[in-house]
Chains A and B, each alone.
Chain A
């Protein structure tokens, strides 16, 4: 800026530019400018000392992360899709799960129940976004993963090739161990292949997912029944560790008259046969007993083979443990639901099933499960026609089939959260260990066990395994690989709730549902019911994500700071920071942040000396 020398003397200029130690009254005549003018800026004014509270950028935890049993960085991959970088999104997803296309189809998505958007206009369609990513070509080969560590020379045997076994094998491979899986069925996949009908999880999708894990060097030996051909104790001798994930594959007996008829099947047996291509004969009227997911799966499979299907359940629809959407779809497909009925006996004429006698029930007080218990109503018996019956009362774990050794049986009954038993080198996970029986929980259990096995094998005295738990929920493999250096594993990280967000920035946007074809003709078609997102739909849905607790660089704190102190990323550390010497602690940035990525903290006057910084 040009300054007129004739107006301002050098002394006066020095004075106005640099300030003077002398009070104005002591200035000599040529030191006093003819007109008071300020030439210095206010940057050195220590106004930051006014504050009692200071804002700080602090990563919070999106509830979806803590709710995902697998440990997926849900907010991470969803927001990366929103930013348009699907490849990075796919890599983020791949860092925590080996089976995205599978989970993207069959997971019951607890992440969506945890999603804060539920309280506005419905959760983000996370499962569908995962499916979209899992179907992308990045997942065509094992190249999506890179070996985290060189080969360790350790060998691990895994019993069972369901989601638990596969996830554990994948994680252990990434960690550099050699893995061999033993599967008693002729093909790998366990429940994914033999329990979930192809209309929900097409076989080619599953075989692609398993193929990718094989390509990592995992050997899968099919037709080998651990327990018969290979005793667990023998396995433990020839391998450095053994992981048991043989699932819960034994049907609970129904024990009614006539249950030995040839037209009576267990759901496991029925679904397994159906998968193999030879659907068991059900005749015109097929009855399913039970209210869980295998009941609905069996019902919808039987419907596809042309039968009239009725599900008989002792409570009402509201108490059915099967997933809501699955029940909806089943009813839309024309399946009948006979609520409040228990089977009494099967009516057999000349060796063939003709009907089932049932008793009505009414709902009484809640039982241990919190659901109202069914009470039989005397004399209310009635008969429904039946040409076949499928028992879907549930599955139980059969430890005896696995090992006759009672030490092993006991060890496998007393496992810790990480699947470790009190026998050195013996671990277990998946449905086999009880708890929530879902694909996602099995994958999560497989991952946890892999970390525990790794720690056991390498004898690392590093961080305790608990430090890899995200928000009190699942364990993060990516975090484990980075020795815990992950934002979401920060100590004391707060899970963000809806009330922490600023709803002013989130207008209602309707959720993008996946298209379904439910009017299946009875033509034996196990064609997939649901179709996935287009790239546009995936992006639109990802756009609904709040990114709870994570700074997305939206810039609102920068726009709204009256001091210009809300600044951004430090060029060196890439950390988010605020100019403390200018920040007066008004808290607008914290209040306005749409996603609660900042917090307000009291200033400790004694230890915090406000430093003068310049921009």
Chain B
């Protein structure tokens, strides 16, 4: 069952509380990434160090000498997020600080593609930090180039409609699950209760934790700024972005089983799908449905 209005505790932590990143940052209007970061930081609190590679968030945080985040933040080269976080964690441990949480916060480009080898290595070592991939499904910061997270046939500047992307979105969750890390979860800012719970849970777990956050991007995914939360919600409700968690790479739980809305309601909000004909929608739906069946099967087997 879904309770659509967030509960009081969620409102107090994610809404009423004034901590979290300061306003005045440089995110575009209606940025799903800035929204996710804001919610995440409120959920995990200020005792943390962030590592952010070249991505939207590196710009959003603010130009020198200002920073929106309000917690220590290390800017780092594109592929180096995971090893840098590993190093900072090692440094803290050496100093006897076991309290401070290290958060690697990287986009889909730095996670699915450029940094994947390093992420895999850190997961393999089960390094003790929280890795968050905020996923806007393309290299938005540099001009909407396709990434491994771009859905099949979606428009980007490098996959124009005449030459669409031929592969489906990379299944990062299964890749991470294959490392048998203690905690993997997906989260969407449109579902605040679920979002808060997963970040708080991830904070308490030891070892490599991987959170995959859906972060709609109005300019890159081509939709009206006001619809950011609606796009995220419809992604969940149409099962395009299933909300789940996986413990130890094995035990999968679907944390929200929506009564699915038509996939059209998700696609039609975004102009990157505007060229979709009925057969494209059906093909898209087929992939989503297949994935959902796999996840449901996995979920059923474990519980």
Contacts and interface: CB of A to CB of B under 8 A. Distances in A.
Interface of A: 1, 15-17, 19, 36-47, 50-51, 504-507, 554-565, 567-568, 579, 581-582, 584-588, 590-592, 594, 615
Contact of A586 (B11, B30, B38, B64): B30
Contact of A556 (B15, B25, B227): B15
B29 A585 contact: yes
B70 A592 contact: no
A559 B192 contact: yes
Contact of B22 (A17, A42, A559, A592): A42
Contact of B29 (A558, A586, A594): A586
Contacts of B144: none
Interface of B: 2, 4-6, 10-12, 14-16, 18, 20-32, 34-35, 38-39, 61-62, 64-68, 70, 72, 189, 192, 218, 224-230, 233
B84 to A, nearest CB: 14
Given A562-B34, A586-B226, A587-B225, A505 B22 contact: no
A42 B66 contact: yes
B25 A45 contact: yes
A258 to B, nearest CB: 64
A46 B67 CA distance: 14
Given A565-B23, A586-B228, A15 B11 contact: no
Contacts of A1: 72
Contact of A562 (B11, B27, B67): B27
Contacts, number: 149
A564 B22 contact: yes
A248 B65 CA distance: 80
Given A507-B2, A588-B229, A39 B65 contact: yes
Given A42-B67, A46-B24, 17 more contacts: A17-B65, A36-B65, A38-B65, A41-B22, A41-B24, A42-B25, A42-B68, A554-B5, A555-B12, A555-B14, A555-B15, A556-B15, A559-B11, A559-B39, A560-B35, A587-B226, A615-B18
A567 to B, nearest CB: 8
Contacts of A51: 29
B66 A40 contact: yes
Contacts of A594: 5
A612 to B, nearest CB: 9
B229 A560 contact: yes
Contact of A591 (B23, B26, B68, B226): B226
A36 B64 contact: yes
Nearest to B39: A559
B65 A559 contact: no
B1 to A, nearest CB: 8
A330 B29 CA distance: 60
B195 to A, nearest CB: 9
B25 A591 contact: no
Contacts of B4: 504-507
Given A38-B67, A505-B4, A587 B23 contact: no
B25 A563 contact: yes
A47 B26 CA distance: 7
Contacts of B229: 560, 588, 591-592
A555 B6 contact: yes
Given A554-B11, A587-B30, A564 B23 contact: yes
Contacts of B233: 504
A584 B18 contact: no
Given A50-B29, A560-B35, A594-B5, A38 B66 contact: yes
A41 B68 contact: yes
A234 to B, nearest CB: 62
Nearest to A50: B29
B24 A45 contact: yes
Nearest to A506: B4
A489 to B, nearest CB: 29
Contacts of B15: 555-559
A581 B23 CA distance: 9
**5 pairs of A and B residues whose beta carbons are closest in the complex:** A582-B23, A555-B11, A558-B15, A587-B226, A586-B30
Contacts of A579: 23
Contacts of B68: 41-42
A333 to B, nearest CB: 39
Contacts of A554: 5-6, 11
Given A564-B18, A615-B18, A588 B26 contact: no
B30 A44 contact: no
A399 to B, nearest CB: 55
A42 to B, nearest CB: 4
27 contacts: A36-B64, A36-B65, A38-B66, A39-B65, A41-B22, A41-B24, A42-B26, A42-B66, A42-B68, A43-B24, A45-B25, A45-B66, A46-B24, A504-B233, A555-B16, A556-B11, A560-B229, A562-B38, A563-B24, A565-B23, A581-B23, A582-B24, A584-B29, A587-B225, A591-B229, A592-B229, A615-B23
A39 B61 CA distance: 12
Contacts of B26: 42, 45, 47
A561 B39 CA distance: 10
A262 B132 CA distance: 89
Contacts of A587: 30, 224-226
A591 B5 contact: no
A51 B4 CA distance: 29
A41 B11 contact: no
Nearest to B226: A587
Contacts of A562: 27, 30-32, 34-35, 38, 228
A508 to B, nearest CB: 10
Contacts of A563: 23-25, 27, 34
Contacts of A561: 35
Contacts of A568: 16
Contacts of B39: 559
Nearest to A613: B23
B29 A41 contact: no
A312 B62 CA distance: 80
Nearest to B3: A507
Contacts of A590: 226
B10 A559 contact: yes
Contact of B6 (A45, A507, A556, A581): A556
